[in-house]
Amino acid sequence: MSTSSPMRPEYPADRYLADDDRYDGRMPYRRSGRSGLVLPAISLGLWHNFGSVDSLETQRAVLHRAFDLGVTHFDLANNYGPVAGSAEENFGRHLAQGLGRYRDELVISTKAGYGMGVGPYQDGGSRKYLLSSLDRSLQRMGLDHVDVFYHHRPDTETPLEETMTALHDVVKSGKALYVGVSNYSASRTREAAGILAELGTPLTIHQPSYSMFNRHVENVVDDGYDGRQREPLLDAVGDLGVGTIVFSPLQQGLLTDRYLSGSAPAGSRAASTTSPFLSEKNLSESYLERARALDEIASDRGQTLAQLALSWVLRDDRITSALVGASSVAQLEGNVAAVSGPALTDDELAAIEPLAVDGTGR
């Protein structure tokens, strides 16, 4: 197995050469539903750690190491940063400085749907917003197309036909190879897939959140969207033949060993006064009891808590890939190592079940 040892020559950023052993079998690849697209079991998300406030050198090291380990999929959105747009700009720099020579081996995805700027045309699901946003994303990354373009969130004020027709048209124009949705309910996913099928462009992938502490995709959820029978999202995508790539499988860090002491270490997301997703109030007694017990199960398996959490979401063959973030090469390597762990046994799954409680840490 290749490493970054002194035996391997180091290259300047613009002369990056990928590891010859990147496809040696360490990273499994899974088909996205019934499509022809395969993704690595672990994908790298650029939601955090790739913005204008982050080290370009660290970003480059993480990206290169990820690809060397067989991580071929890099997930972005128009508003990733901070500041909004800077993750795409930085990713474009890294492509231009060496990674881009492997463009035909990369799956690059981006999204639009959440607020991106000022004015009435920078939010939602309108044709104007989606098409103009994708054009700006391509400019920032220096690309002529992305592999996957998502509508990032449902927009009940825009007709779904308008949103899905815009996704269809980006495929017809060659600016995206596949399209997906994110954060859609089961019923809305079914309707979106039906519209796209009539247009001749399949819905390839769905990106919801999912973790041992966030199990909404397994549940029947009343989203108030229509009057039809509800069903779990995982059942809907499985029936439709749509792939699923899950974000926040580590529940914003709650499913790592970072907070098992009961306090937020300096520099952590929970210690930040600006994070809208995590704070010390999330470190409740019920969270600590469950996380510590899960950590014991992980240790018995020779894994970290984070690796157990990734193994758990990937146990379901309807899950195509799990998105992880990484602020360092070491953190990335630890997450990717989850795919080398043993399959979860029935006894282990039974032990995990009473601890994997939806809503823990909220």
Q: For the domain that residue 151 is a member of, what is the CATH number? A: 3.20.20.100
Q: Is residue 68 part of a domain?
A: yes
Picking from 154, 147, 234, the residue whose alpha carbon sits closest to that of residue 191 is 154
Instruction: Report pLDDT for 222.
Output: 61
Alpha-carbon span 334 to 326, nearest angstrom: 10
Range of the domain at 183: 28-253+306-345
Instruction: Report pLDDT for 229.
Output: 55
Q: Is residue 16 part of a domain?
A: no
Alpha-carbon span 284 to 259, nearest angstrom: 11
The residue whose two tokens read 């020779």 is: 302
Instruction: Report pLDDT for 164.
Output: 98
Alpha-carbon span 356 to 293, nearest angstrom: 10
Instruction: Report pLDDT for 264.
Output: 62
Residues of the chain with pLDDT under 70: 1-14, 222-229, 263-280
55 within 8 A of 90, measured Cβ to Cβ = no
Q: Is residue 134 part of a domain?
A: yes
Side chain identity at residue 177, one-letter code: L
Alpha-carbon span 150 to 138, nearest angstrom: 14
Q: Is residue 296 part of a domain?
A: no
201 within 8 A of 168, measured Cβ to Cβ = yes
Cβ partners under 8 Å of residue 41, min gap 6: 27, 28, 29, 30, 314, 321, 322, 339
Q: Is residue 214 part of a domain?
A: yes
| Number of structural domains the chain divides into | 1
Alpha-carbon span 167 to 294, nearest angstrom: 41
Picking from 182, 186, 175, the residue whose alpha carbon sits closest to that of residue 133 is 175
Q: Is residue 274 part of a domain?
A: no
The residue whose two tokens read 């954060």 is: 183
Q: In 32-78, where do the E strands start and end? A: 38-40, 42-45, 73-75
Query: Helical H runs in the chain?
Result: 56-68, 86-96, 127-141, 160-172, 186-199, 233-240, 285-300, 305-313, 329-336, 346-352
Q: Is residue 283 part of a domain?
A: no
Picking from 244, 324, 339, the residue whose alpha carbon sits closest to that of residue 25 is 339
Q: Is residue 350 part of a domain?
A: no
- Rounded to the nearest 5°, which phi and psi values hold at 185? -75, 170
Instruction: Report pLDDT for 283.
Output: 85
